[in-house]
Every structure is written in structure tokens, then in C-alpha cells.
Chains A and B, each alone.
Chain A
Amino acid sequence: MNVRPGSTSKKTMTLNLTDAEMTALEQLCVDRDMSKTAILRQALRLYQLIDERVKAGEKVFFGDDLDKEKKELVVL
């Protein structure tokens, strides 16, 4: 079946990262079993989602089951 969503034309860009940023990116690639491009595209999707919701007046919190205290994530 000829189904190839997402294969629309893409733009290419060069990205300059520090050693620390590249190390973090490479670690995420290993942890998530994804390529560097896939990690950065996923990061963009998440950033846009959070940005839209914050712009709409919502807040983002971190919390866990043990520590009931919630910490707000401030998106710059």
C-alpha cells in the first residue's frame, strides 16, 4: 500500500551545538532509540505544544506520586 505520510518536502539547516549540548543530544538518541534529527524534531513539537498552552493561559507543572508538591515549569 502506497502510504507515505510525513514524506513532504523538508528544509535543511545547519545546527551548531556546544560539546555539552551534543553530548546531551547523543545521550537522548541512545535513551530514546531515535536519530539526532528525530530528537530535535520531537523537541520542537513539544516546545510548540507547551508554548501554545502557556500562551492560552495554562501552566505546566512537574510533580510525582511521593512528593505531592508541584513545581511550575516556567517557559521562556
Chain B
Amino acid sequence: MTATYGVLLHDVQLGKNVSALLTERVSGAYALRGHETWEDYRQAAMEAAREGEAYVEPKVLWNWSAIHKKFNRLLPHCLFGVECGDQVQGFMLTESDKHRCRLPDQDRKAIVYIQSVQTAPWNDIRLGGKRRYRGVGLVMLSAAIAQSRELGFKGRIGLHAIGSAESFYERHGLACLGVDADCNGYKYYEGSTAWADDFGR
């Protein structure tokens, strides 16, 4: 069942926080709308790049509409979206059945695992454009912690980070447990209950 919550994003142009809407278990129409808007932007950016504008293709391109179709019926998976200015600003897929904690003091305990998370291409400065909104990553981390608490996992979360996102998770205090050879060599990060309690304070 879909549910929505008020959150804040930072509008870079206005220089202030603005209201946004976080949706838990987004609909198929929502996922498709987000995917199509992002794809239109990407195509236009690639076209502009041929004319000399700055644009770098993201390393990973997820089709969030296809992700929704694949996982939407399954209880362990949850697709979140955050909307602002009538556009989808970010997506996150979590799962709560397959992964276990790896930190020694919470080894093998249940965890909310962030399977994939992405901000809209116009918010990703790595792609070369001017960022419209900041804070999507923080909203999604907060959502994963809240989901973990609600499921009885006491705020514990984990994820594998693509190289360019490592600094974001390190900046926000997630513990890095090193390179995971079983996951394309990506680094694995985990947040403990204590970390979750401190997060956002």
C-alpha cells in the first residue's frame, strides 16, 4: 500500500529548503513517470553534449519502471520515490529478507538493505549539469532507517556503494567493511543501531 510523507529538499537555485513528498511503495504510474522524465532529460543532455555542453553519462542506468514491475508485488522489497516541483527527484529500492548484518556487534541480525538508490540526473553533479535539488540521498537514508525501525530491525541498514558514492556514505558515518568480492568489488557499508540513533541529530 502506498503511503506519503512530507520531507524537505534544498532548492539550489532558491537557496532554501522546500517541501517535498516521500512516497513508500510507489505505483507503477509513478515509477514510469519518473523513468520517462529522467530518460527525456538524459537524451536531451546527450544531444546538448554533442553541441559542447558538459554531460557525463552515469555509470549505472537503472530503469525504475522495470524495477517496479519486477518487485512491486513482493513484501520484502519496497520502492520509495521523492517528488518535488512536480517531478520525481529520486528513487530507492530496499529489501529486508536477503542480507544480514556484518558488523561484529550485530553480526547476522536482520537489516534493511538498500539495493539501489539514485537521484534524478539533474541533481547529480557528477553528470556535469547544474544541480536543482540537494538532499535526496539524506531523505533516502532517513527513509531506510525509519523502515528498519518500523520492521523491528532497530535502524540497522546496509548497502554496497558505487565508487563515486563512497564519500557520501563515509561523510555520513556509515561503517565501511571493505571491498566485497561477491558484489562486483564494491565497498560494503553498514549502519548500526547506535549510528541510526545519532543520524540526523
Contacts and interface: CB of A to CB of B under 8 A. Distances in A.
Nearest to B77: A49
A73 B152 CA distance: 27
A34 B152 contact: yes
B200 A52 contact: no
B76 A1 contact: no
- Among A1, A5, A33, A52, chain B packs the most CB atoms within 10 A around the CB of A5
- Among B8, B75, B139, chain A packs the most CB atoms within 10 A around the CB of B75
Interface residues of A, number: 23
A5 B5 contact: yes
Interface string B152-196: 111000000000000000000000000000000000000000000
B80 interface: yes
A49 to B, nearest CB: 5
Interface in B109-130: 109-110
A49 B74 contact: yes
Interface in B1-60: 1, 3, 5-8, 22, 24
A48 B76 CA distance: 9
B151 A38 contact: yes
Contacts of B80: 5
Is the interface on chain B under 10, 10 to 19, 20 to 34, or 35 or more residues?
A: 20 to 34
Contacts of A49: 74-76, 97
Nearest to A38: B152
B152 A41 contact: yes
- Among A2, A4, A38, A46, chain B packs the most CB atoms within 10 A around the CB of A4
B26 to A, nearest CB: 12
A5 B146 CA distance: 6
B142 interface: yes
Interface string A1-35: 11111111000000000000000000000001111
Interface of A: 1-8, 32-35, 37-39, 41-42, 44-46, 48-49, 52
12 contacts: A3-B143, A4-B146, A5-B146, A6-B146, A6-B147, A7-B3, A33-B106, A33-B154, A34-B152, A39-B152, A42-B97, A45-B76
- Nearest first, the 3 A-B pairs at minimum CB distance are A38-B152, A6-B150, A3-B142
